[in-house]
Amino acid sequence: MKKFLLALSFIAPVLHSVAQTAAVDSSTALDLITSPNSPGFTILGISPQEIERPQTPTDFAVNVLSSTQNFSTLPQNYSLEFAPAWMFTGKKIRYSAFSSDSIKHNLWQTLTVSLATADGFTPDDTRFGAGFRVSILRGKIDQEFQDYHQKITEGFAALDSFNNHFSEVMNERSKEDPVILENEKQFAEARRNGESEKAAACLAIIDARKKELAAAIENDLVSEVEQLKSKANEVQVRRIGWKWDLAGATALDFPENDFTNSYVTNSGLWTTIGYEAKSNLCLLATGRVLFQHANMVTLDSGFTNLDGGLRLIYDNDRFSFSGEVLYRQSVMKEGNNTGQWKYDVNAAYNFMPNKTLTFSLGKNFDQLNTEYSGNLIAWLNVLIGLGAKRNIL
């Protein structure tokens, strides 16, 4: 017993320093982007999809939208979207709050602010849109990601157990290791014979072997956890169940690109509600109130648009296909009300985690402002999500 205590006292400080290194960052990048949407684009009337799909936002997203035009021109429409909760307090949000579907967590974590710019009513004009979006309901984390989370939780638990019970673990391993057993035997014999140099050499071998064992255990545990973390963005975060979003935006026009000469041309509020099923199908319905304000930019044609529509989405691995139809009732000041339809189809490809390419084709609402012409929808859209690192414990 004395020889064991002597050996342990000799090597304990070194082993303790080894144990302290067995720590792994509990946050990792997740695949969060599902489909491109931006309230800023919606209020400007150039969104690839009118009915936005509720989703878990990244910290920051860049949206580049271009009409195809034989792909001969550079994109002229851009939007930026950021989530204050994740940009400023993301490190404090634990997995229990991230996975929760409580209204308190939903409102704060899904609040996003959108800024967009696009060509104006004439080639010399620029339009600017600003909006927000927030989810009241966002569904529950799907089973695939829950299974992944369970595995990585078990990996971290094993690593914590190794750190918390380091001495016990090493004692058990030492009792089974032939190198340590043989040198403990020689150490005892050397002490009995008064061979101090041989005893010190045996202790050095025991010390080196225990450090080697500790490093091997640590490396195995850390490697397992890191492998699980590396697969995080291969498992897309989907939420199953009821979804309910609220959004709003306003548009500002700058005739002749003059910063001091601007007009509020459009503003609106809308809500989207729907259900996402385990079968990769999602059905959404929306209702909107959009106001076009009368001024020189809109040719004094102030009116209110009342929109309602449906959108059906099917996801297949990294591909997403959807179709939507909307009806618009335009309430004119003069009482000459009009009704019209919009319909489109969209194909999206998630070519990298949090990076999506979308093509949209369909018929737009007829433009009531005389500066516009045509109702063909043919958009190519690239959405890049930045800052998708989330705490997974």
Instruction: Tell me, yes or no, if the pTM score tops 0.85.
Output: no
Per-residue confidence (pLDDT) for residue 261, from 0 to 100: 82
Inform me whether the pLDDT recorded for 7 exceeds 50: no
**Out of 14-18, 77-81, 153-157, 383-387, least confident range:** 14-18
End-to-end Cα separation, the chain, in angstroms: 41
Q: Which fold has domain 31-142+238-391?
A: Porin (2.40.160)
Task: Tell me what the mean pLDDT of segment 188-199 comes to.
Answer: 86
Domain map (residue ranges) of the chain: 2-24+148-233, 31-142+238-391
Cα separation, 22 vs 124, whole angstroms: 61
Per-residue confidence (pLDDT) for residue 313, from 0 to 100: 94
pLDDT band at 1 (very low <50, low <70, confident <90, very high): very low
CB atoms within 10 A of CB 35: 21
Inform me whether the pLDDT recorded for 241 exceeds 90: yes
Per-residue confidence (pLDDT) for residue 35, from 0 to 100: 61
Instruction: Work out the angle at residue 37's Cα, subtended by the Cα atoms of residues 31 and 38, and round it to the nearest 5 degrees.
Output: 120
Q: Quick one: tokens of 132?
A: 């927000």
Looking at every residue in the chain, the average pLDDT score rounds to 81
Helix (H, G, I), strand (E, B) or coil at 50: coil
Inform me whether the pLDDT recorded for 184 exceeds 70: yes
Closest residue by Cα to residue 110 from 65, 61, 47: 61
Per-residue confidence (pLDDT) for residue 341, from 0 to 100: 93
**Out of 21-35, 133-147, 318-332, 375-389, least confident range:** 21-35
Inform me whether the pLDDT recorded for 73 exceeds 60: no
Task: Tell me what the mean pLDDT of segment 178-205 comes to.
Answer: 87
The tens digit of pLDDT for each residue in 9-35 reads 434 444 444 444 445 677 777 777 666
Task: Tell me what the mean pLDDT of segment 300-327 comes to.
Answer: 89
